[in-house]
Chains A and B, each alone.
Chain A
Amino acid sequence: MTQHRIECTVNGEAQSVDVPARRLLSDFLRDDLHLTGTKRGCETGICGACSVLVDGEVVKSCLMLAVQVQGREITTVEGLGQGDELHPLQESFMVCGGLQCGYCTPGFLMTSCAMLKNNPDPTVDEVRHGLNGNLCRCTGYTQIVESILTAAEKMRGN
């Protein structure tokens, strides 16, 4: 079975790792690079806990092979903040109570990060639609939506 050298950038750092063809991106991040912030949830493309950014766009890393990110730029939840400084979304999820058990949170953070980049001033409806690839079984989503709207406002500089 073919081995492939994956050369890509993860959270700004160049990586070069040999993996078998069947390595999923989620497993590559967690098991090869030890970036365990990205969660494996349903592993069937439903829950979105494994969401990461590839070239700035959100994807589900359990539905993508590591060989598909050759030469590309990946951002995981570990790359969201700057050192000890949290990203405004991380801050607002904490302040607004946008999580309970926290397992889905990295996925929600990555999805909402991409969402706000494309649409810095979303309506409640747009936020809710933008989250339809992510499941949370604790919060009922209300505080997640609040968290995102709060971060959006802060990021717009209000």
Chain B
Amino acid sequence: MRDFDYLEPTTIDEASRMLADLGDECRAIAGGTALMLGMRQRMLTPTHLVSLAHLEPLCGIDFDGRRGLRIGALSRHADVANSPIVRAHYPVLASMASRVANPQVRNQGTIGGNLCYADPSTDPPGCLMALDAQVVLGSSRGERVLSIEEFLVDYYVTALEPDEMVVEIRVPPLAVGTAGVYTRFLRTAAEHRPLASVALIARRDGALCREAKIAVGASTPIPTRLRRAEAFLEGRTVTADIAAEVADIVAADIEPVSDTRGSADFRRDMVRIVARRTMAELFGLDINEGAR
């Protein structure tokens, strides 16, 4: 790993000015799990690292019934998974966070760093997208709030300006009767990076789906919201047949990536299966996977 200077600003303003002054030569570091790999492999060779570890506004997790959930960008995956607040109000988010990578990475990697890295093969972005989460960006110029869709631009590309950092993630409150399920497919049980994931957030009365939000992650360059499938689900009584139809729409409406980990066709097939499993779990259906 190349030599670098390590800077430790204590305010967003100071950090933002450092990032702006140093430009492409520097990188912000939160947990550092992904950054260290990039630097060790010399894919990234910054001359300066700006540590965000001492920025108070990036810390903590809190909840307000009206505004919803606020997750400070420095919250580690383990913090999200173990937070009594997250577990009580957004169990799907806690469950997702408890599955990210492996125990060691969950104790070091942060949710803000995860979003900024914009790695397609990871868990948080898709789940946050289905929850209609927003990303709050801070800089010496002030604050702006983007939806996850606006924040994630492409494969490893975000809408972050050079002087900006993620301050917090906001998740709106869930309406009464809302449940969520996050399901993923790993090629082996020990793998750390999902090949396909589906997050479903639905407001329902028994089997009747009143409102649905579906996002596919890990198989497309950035997670994809499935509006056509959501519209199809809304107002329907969800049976195994309906779940299968929705899964077909989900699989048809994505543009999967094709790489050494899986071809586009394979990913599309796995997304269909994961989508069906997700609906079966949320609506308590028995599905026969051998039938289709």
Binding site for B on A (CB under 8 A): 1-2, 4, 20-22, 24, 43-45, 48, 51, 54, 57-60, 62-65, 67-68, 111, 114-115, 128, 130, 132-133
Contacts and interface: CB of A to CB of B under 8 A. Distances in A.
A131 B13 CA distance: 41
Interface string B3-40: 11111000000000000000000000100110011001
A54 B33 CA distance: 15
Interface stretch (B60-68, B101-109, B155-163): B101-109
Contacts of A54: 107
A65 B32 contact: yes
Interface residues of B, number: 28
Given A2-B5, A2-B7, A130-B103, 13 more contacts: A21-B5, A24-B1, A43-B40, A44-B37, A45-B37, A51-B104, A57-B107, A59-B107, A60-B104, A64-B36, A64-B108, A65-B32, A67-B51
Nearest to B109: A63
B257 interface: no
Interface string B51-62: 101000000000
Given A21-B6, A132-B190, A45 B33 contact: yes
Interface in B65-108: 78, 101-105, 107-108
Contacts of B53: 68
Contacts, number: 81
A114 to B, nearest CB: 7
Contacts of A130: 103
Interface of B: 1-7, 29, 32-33, 36-37, 40-41, 49, 51, 53, 78, 101-105, 107-108, 189-190, 192
Contacts of B192: 132-133
Nearest to B98: A129
Q: By CB atoms of chain A within 10 A, which of B29, B103, B107, B189 has the most?
A: B103
B4 A63 contact: no
A68 B3 contact: no
Given A58-B103, A58-B104, A1 B40 contact: no
A64 B103 CA distance: 14
Nearest to A50: B104
Contact of B104 (A24, A43, A133): A133
A133 to B, nearest CB: 3
Given A43-B40, A44-B37, A45-B37, A59 B108 contact: yes
B36 A133 contact: no
Given A2-B5, A63-B37, A67-B6, A45 B103 contact: no
B6 A2 contact: yes
Nearest to A45: B37
